[in-house]
Structure 1
Amino acid sequence: MGSSIGTSFSLSSLMCYEQTESTLFEEDEDDNTLFINSLDHNYDNPFFLLEDEDEYIEYLFKQETGFGSITHFLSYDDDHDDDSRKNIFWLRTARLHAIDWIFNTQAKFGFSVQTAYLSITYFDRFLSKRSIDESKPWAIQLLSVACLSIAAKMEEQRVPPLSEYPIEYRFENKVIKNMELLILSTLEWKMGLPTPFAYLHYFFTKFCSGSKSQTIISKATQHILELVKDFNLMNQRPSIIASAAILASFDSTLTKKAMDLRISLVSTWGNLESGQVYSCYNIIQENRRNKVKKTPSSDLLSTQSNSMCVVEDKSNACSGVKRKLSYEDIEECHGQKLHRP
């Protein structure tokens, strides 16, 4: 990761977070409320303030464009040497494993897909600002647990204690909590990030008149979950992904001209958005054609059949300079791998 700025984070530096912020992470109901209230949502609950759905969606459009792009930390370029390319390949693989773990854990706890997707968004945005060394696979799991824990505190009514999370390494609770604080600090405490699910009903009403909403939205949700593993799309606007998913669920034979006509129903969108939606739509169609080649064990949706919960979403801006994240080895005292029988 040649472009990253070297900043060393040892275990002791993570522990320092606990000294000043630990009250936000006690595992009881009152402190979870305090955690939510401490975040800078920056939207003042617009869903309840704006009665008109078009007005609310316009608000979301403006919010999502204010985030800034995610650094393509998983893409190769000519400046990368062999070691950098090797680490990027490792990060791609580690990200896929992290996503599988997040969705498996989401299914175990009965979380909504919104919670899982939001945690993956945190995961990607964190790694776009700080990198993890290839030699630290446990750090990926620590990041995954912390991201899902934060997302659950944002979205779920019941947040399970950290001891119930099915993890391969034995992390002390205070280490996970301090990792949560590092994530919050890195993302500037702006955690109300947009996801595609907030847009599904809106785009259904725009594009799919006369169709059954439950069927179309369920299929669109499946498409979104399939797309989440494609790192090339992690920088795509959530509204683009949502509209492409709805259109692919409604009609799998759309031409570019037909796409343009439908996108014109969104008053503030033009040729740029239409092209982006059509590109994403084609990726969905390609995934559909390739799906027969997948084995059941590689099907991300196998864990999602009971969790198609779509909720409203809000967004906040988040930007920053990418920095290097490295840890002192803590496997021996805090990150020991569990050896299960």
Structure 2
Amino acid sequence: MGSSGIFTSLSSLMCDEGEVSIFEDDENTSIHSLHNPSFVLDDEEEYIEYLFTQEMGFGSQSHHVCSKILWLRSARFDAIDWIFNTQVKIGFKVHTAYLSVTYLDQFLSKRSIDESKPWALKLLSVACLSLAAKMEEQNVPPLFEYPTEEYRFESKVIKNMELMILRTLEWKMGSVTPFHYLHYFVNKFCPESRPEIIIIKATEYIVTILKDINLMDQRPSIIASAAVMAAFDATLTRNGMDHRLSAISSWGNIERGHVFSCYNLIHQKRNMVKTPSSNLLSTHSSSTCVVENPFDTSSGTKRKLSFENSENSPRQKLHRP
């Protein structure tokens, strides 16, 4: 993990007036302007290949600082619990919570947090979830409605933390997640199954292993394929899995090995006592578990893809949806 920035004090999160002005005066803002849809793909295979190219930042290098620093590992666990518990309370989609953890891990791979300031990671969690909600949700609550328990953060402080995240991630907020692949992989790997059942189980498995992997260390497509395989068949051998994975012609032994390792991790977690975050999908409304098909070929819908311009994005104002 790089050490390009360290949280030193609450005042360090304050921005100049000109910087804060990129957020409009209302807390209920949206960052959809960071997306710049520029063309449409007609072919699902082409869309998936595009997603593969967009996830190259994942799994390309090791980010094990959270696992090596005991207090940070524990704090990350607490942050994930808070994110998913808040997702349930507010009624966000599971995808929104997962995306916020992606932002969290991306940020921690680039910046350091001082152990003496435990509030910093809670503030980071709030800002990550708020940004993810602005990307994914139709109705985004004002910042003061995010329950922070022992800490009370002013809205302007959370907004400045959002700005720090945006700059650290170079305004690239449209991260690929495993949920983008679920429908496609179900059709590819187990076309004889009932897709809705496989997708519900796979979604639960994706959430289950969140604490055990750094999302920067594993490509979203690997996680998605392992979850689909685990939901379809809990007894697959390596040869049996390789046979099904051969449907993805661009994957070789390395990718298949990663899928099998992730598949085994899922089954290890299934045999353990469920944690609050891994039990979420069985404790709240199924409406938050629905994963939409990003490319519905039956309706002839074309998928718009987003290209982000990191040079121009900071000058785009955030606006209400």
**1:255: how far off?**
0.7
Q: Which residue pairs with 1:97 in the alignment?
A: 78
Distance 1:165 1:279, change over 3 A: same
In the alignment, structure 1 residue 144 sits paired with structure 2 residue 132: no
Aligned amino acid, residue 247 of structure 1: M
Distance 2:11 2:107 in 1: 20
Q: Which residue pairs with 1:75 in the alignment?
A: 67
Which residue among 45, 54, 62 is the counterpart of 2:45? 54
Note if contact 1:70-1:125 (Cα within 8 Å) is conserved in structure 2: no
Q: Which residue pairs with 1:110 in the alignment?
A: 91
Distance 1:91 1:303 in 2: 28
**1:72: how far off?**
2.0
Q: Which residue pairs with 2:261 in the alignment?
A: 279
Distance 1:315 1:262 in 2: 30
Distance 1:105 1:6 in 2: 27
**Aligned counterparts, 1:207-286, within 5 A:** 207-232=189-214, 234-286=216-268
**1:26: how far off?**
3.3
Q: Which residue pairs with 1:81 in the alignment?
A: none
Distance 2:239 2:155 in 1: 54
Distance 1:160 1:6, change over 3 A: closer
**1:17: how far off?**
4.5
More helix per residue: 1 or 2? Answer: 1
Note if contact 2:5-2:112 (Cα within 8 Å) is conserved in structure 1: no
**1:69: how far off?**
3.8
Aligned amino acid, residue 26 of structure 1: D
**1:14: how far off?**
2.4
Distance 1:253 1:316, change over 3 A: farther
Distance 1:15 1:94 in 2: 23
Identical residues among aligned pairs (%): 62
Scaled by the length of structure 2, what TM-score is found?
0.84
Distance 1:219 1:137 in 2: 34
Scaled by the length of structure 1, what TM-score is found?
0.79
Note if contact 2:223-2:262 (Cα within 8 Å) is conserved in structure 1: yes
**Aligned counterparts, 1:269-308, within 5 A:** 269-290=251-272, 293-294=273-274, 299-306=279-286, 307-308=288-289
Distance 2:174 2:215 in 1: 20
- Any unmatched runs of 5+ in structure 2? 295-302, 309-321
**1:231: how far off?**
3.1
**1:232: how far off?**
4.9
- Any unmatched runs of 5+ in structure 1? 77-87, 318-341
Distance 1:297 1:242 in 2: 18
Write the deviation string for residues 275-333 of structure 1: whole angstroms up to 9, x where unpaired: 1111111111111222xx4477974545555320214497889xxxxxxxxxxxxxxxx
Counterpart of 1:269 in 2: which secondary structure?
Answer: coil
**1:250: how far off?**
0.5
**1:19: how far off?**
3.3
Distance 2:7 2:267 in 1: 43
Distance 1:150 1:131, change over 3 A: same
Distance 1:17 1:64, change over 3 A: farther
**1:192: how far off?**
0.5
Distance 1:281 1:62 in 2: 23
Note if contact 1:227-1:284 (Cα within 8 Å) is conserved in structure 2: yes
Note if contact 1:17-1:178 (Cα within 8 Å) is conserved in structure 2: no
Distance 1:283 1:297 in 2: 16
Counterpart of 1:225 in 2: which secondary structure?
Answer: helix
Aligned amino acid, residue 67 of structure 2: S
